[in-house]
Structure 1
């Protein structure tokens, strides 16, 4: 197939693919250094580049070493830091998180589309083969597809959610599909099913009457002259690449244009580790523990008493601990602890001496732990992290540790449970085998389906017929209403007939008896 180029937009990433070999630079300034989102997008784009397609990536994370067909456009927006301490969200309800992400999505869509460099691309209407946009509450960006007259492919770095199901009109039964922001498995009791239904219904109402209205307003502002209105553009998304795999997530309904690519960021062969980390892990003859709370949560922001609890527990372990810690020094750091502001998470988890991963439960980290067969102690803070750790618990590969309950005793107890119970390691290795057993690798799936969409001019034949139905038709409300009306007429008619036949006779009988 001929070389193709795409346009990819993510919270921390933009990509342009075009027919010519000229690089059209698009700059975007984004309010977050969400490197985990970038890792998924980068892996998808790197995969396409390795397949021979020309990609131009705008991001705050340029590659240290050149990659063939992969061109960085550095996005330098200064050191804005975090908008707030994400540990503060540990007590947020699902309803608060839904509201927050919607507002954040409105800001991101507006900010991205208003940037002069992206405006320049839009004004020139350069010919593209496809637009690849991250699906993270920024649906207005999909307007680039109709504006530039090319298919839209979305990348759901967050995994399956109401966002993906709305785009594909896929059923999402409340009874066994838990919302991403609740800490339930697919096997819910009555209370959990009821609460899950309330969260789902709240999000449905909020999305329909608030979120999509916000995105529609942004869409109309920048794509008001498009041939397709916002609702039609949403229906014309060709493909959703989902950062999930059924073996590690809840089994749920899918349609033809939902493609699972969970683990796409995990290269089959880990990269060599930095010398100091390699030496540290090699010397961990009693085993090693990796401790990382991801790219957004900062270990330096741990409350003092919780941080000291970890330090005290680690100091008593015979295992070594590699801790993602953003300062150069850690107060009272034990000799068996190594701190680093950034660790190559996927690569260190592949080290044979690693016995445990202490994580916040992000989809990226849990995926990498599953791939390498490493059990986890999860400390979920926000969004889907609770659900991810609950899944790990149910699969027998992890322990859930509530952030608010953390103390020295609880940390030691959970670490020792994992280290001393061989079943956790056995289950993790078994799940790893299942996770890797696929007809196509995630990378092969990306290449095949992206090319498929372009070969077939958007491949709208993959689209569910549910897109042609309104809410009443989709849920058969009109059919139920008709059946109910017919049953009512039948009941009323039979009642009248019964009264006419038997009611009069009973009166005659009473008269005769009297």
Structure 2
């Protein structure tokens, strides 16, 4: 069997490559997007070493070495920073908090002894490919390019921020493709257009003058002061794969080396734990599945919000399965089953599940659409409000504000989505659009990764826009040059006009005495006659 796997890998790429992956953000939902990639690469015969807080720990993957950094989950500072992110924060404030989060995670993990040994490796050709998490502010991971002479592929579990698009030469028209963190609708009014335009400039100033220098400082702390600046290392990214849901995200233009992927983490249904299976089977009237994912913990909700949620769930004519992270749920209703961890996709695949109460993470939305379950969304931060707003616009669910929700609002929303067939019908309809692709999920991601290896970085895909300065790309140099030329032409024209005017005045003054003499002669002639 191992021989067959290895031969398949050789057939796909030509030889078994050595690959280093770095996916540092401690979040089960984000890591679930990355895990299938390094698993499939190892199954194809490639020798894969990966830094991750969520190792697969699969002994059958003999080509896979995982550097486990799950200790970062236990650091209380991580949860403190995450809890500071609020849905109504100004985008630049949210970016600052997220930047602090990623900088903290990077510095915590780079101090780990196995990673130190990795960085100390002096063999520039130790790896044939670098794979890094390329979302938000993971820029310091680009420093691995300074250590190893290999192409680099970035993978993002959600959309790219503006600087990520800039690094690849991807267009970021403020009206056609506004920053997803702004949470703007598809059709912008004049105020929203102005907001997006100013955000485009403000974000770039904030990133290049505040965030990037600090990230560069963090990278140098572990990779050495002789490191090539991150600003330059961005130019060596060969390809970016980013998670894009064509239902949730607006259509946008991409350069050839920016590839949209989705449904990487979607798995075939597996048997449920016996107690969960019995609970779902015994609920033909319907079940509400409730989870706020891994970044928003239900057990950390305020007392007021928890009270309203429990009151709503207690009055439902359905059973409820709730992902609750503590040992005890105060005032737990009799119709509610709680578990610290739940096999989400397998539960959503059960026919008795009528509605999913979720925070609106992209991975959760992909799972619920794939399982044809409508949504009641209660978003908290980052892309969640935009995701749920889009779900509501498409008629696949309802949007609820967690800051103003009451028992009755939540209960009525859950009953509406569970009992009105239109939500289920819309989910089924849009699922057909989402899954209708020539290549899906991991298959597409692996093809492009191996493409980069086959063509030694695939430099032919790189847009020239990626190597332009800000002034060149937005043609500020052309505008300035044109203004100088126009100004010079106007100046010369005014000077010529002024000179011509003075010349005419001078000539007029010279001709005036002659005219006076002629006039006197004529007058004298008249007098004589």
What per-residue deviation string (whole Å, max 9, x for no partner) do you get for residues 93-123 of structure 1?
A: 3222111122223333333334332221222
1:54 aligns with 47
2:35 aligns with 42
**CA RMSD, Structure 1 to Structure 2 (Å):** 2.8
2:375 aligns with 376
1:292 aligns with 291
Provide the C-alpha distance between the structure 2 equivalents of 1:47 and 1:185, rounded to a whole number of angstroms: 37
1:321 aligns with 320
The answer as to whether partners of 1:260 and 1:442 remain within 8 angstroms in 2 is: no
Q: Which stretch of structure 1 is more off in the superposition, 485-494 or 176-185?
A: 485-494
2:75 aligns with 80
Q: Which stretch of structure 1 is more off in the superposition, 274-283 or 81-90?
A: 81-90
Provide the C-alpha distance between the structure 2 equivalents of 1:75 and 1:492, rounded to a whole number of angstroms: 66
2:261 aligns with 261
Q: How many residues align?
A: 491
What are the within-5 Å matches in structure 2 for residues 127-166 of structure 1?
A: 127-135=126-134, 136-166=136-166
2:199 aligns with 199
Question: By how many angstroms is 1:360 displaced?
Answer: 0.9
Provide the C-alpha distance between the structure 2 equivalents of 1:86 and 1:226, rounded to a whole number of angstroms: 33
1:218 aligns with 218
**Aligned with 1:84: secondary structure?**
helix
2:487 aligns with 488
- Point out the structure with max Rg over C-alpha: 2
What per-residue deviation string (whole Å, max 9, x for no partner) do you get for residues 258-290 of structure 1?
A: 1112211112x2222222222222222122221
2:353 aligns with 354
Q: Which stretch of structure 1 is more off in the superposition, 74-83 or 155-164?
A: 74-83
Q: Extract unaligned runs of 5+ from structure 1.
A: 13-32
2:23 aligns with 10
Higher fraction of helix: 2
Provide the C-alpha distance between the structure 2 equivalents of 1:342 and 1:411, rounded to a whole number of angstroms: 23
What per-residue deviation string (whole Å, max 9, x for no partner) do you get for residues 198-256 of structure 1?
A: 33332211101011111222333444476744322110011111011334311112111
What per-residue deviation string (whole Å, max 9, x for no partner) do you get for residues 118-151 of structure 1?
A: 2212222341111111123121221212311111
Provide the C-alpha distance between the structure 2 equivalents of 1:217 and 1:71, rounded to a whole number of angstroms: 29
The answer as to whether partners of 2:298 and 2:325 remain within 8 angstroms in 1 is: yes
- The alpha-carbon distance between structure 1 residues 488 and 280, as it changes in their structure 2 partners (threshold 3 A), is same
Q: Which stretch of structure 1 is more off in the superposition, 372-381 or 215-224?
A: 215-224
Provide the C-alpha distance between the structure 2 equivalents of 1:396 and 1:497, rounded to a whole number of angstroms: 68
1:28 aligns with none
1:94 aligns with 91
Question: By how many angstroms is 1:293 displaced?
Answer: 0.6
Question: By how many angstroms is 1:339 displaced?
Answer: 0.9
**Aligned with 1:252: secondary structure?**
coil
Does 2:103 align with 1:106?
A: yes
Provide the C-alpha distance between the structure 1 equivalents of 2:181 and 2:193, rounded to a whole number of angstroms: 14
What per-residue deviation string (whole Å, max 9, x for no partner) do you get for residues 463-495 of structure 1?
A: 110133222111111112222333334445556
Q: Which stretch of structure 1 is more off in the superposition, 190-199 or 475-484?
A: 190-199
Q: Extract unaligned runs of 5+ from structure 2.
A: 1-12, 516-529
- The alpha-carbon distance between structure 1 residues 122 and 329, as it changes in their structure 2 partners (threshold 3 A), is closer
The answer as to whether partners of 1:11 and 1:37 remain within 8 angstroms in 2 is: no
Q: Could you tell me which of 108, 115, 129 is aligned with 2:112?
A: 115
Provide the C-alpha distance between the structure 2 equivalents of 1:308 and 1:130, rounded to a whole number of angstroms: 51
Q: Which stretch of structure 1 is more off in the superposition, 408-417 or 72-81?
A: 72-81
- The alpha-carbon distance between structure 1 residues 328 and 500, as it changes in their structure 2 partners (threshold 3 A), is same
Question: By how many angstroms is 1:417 displaced?
Answer: 2.5
1:15 aligns with none
2:363 aligns with 364
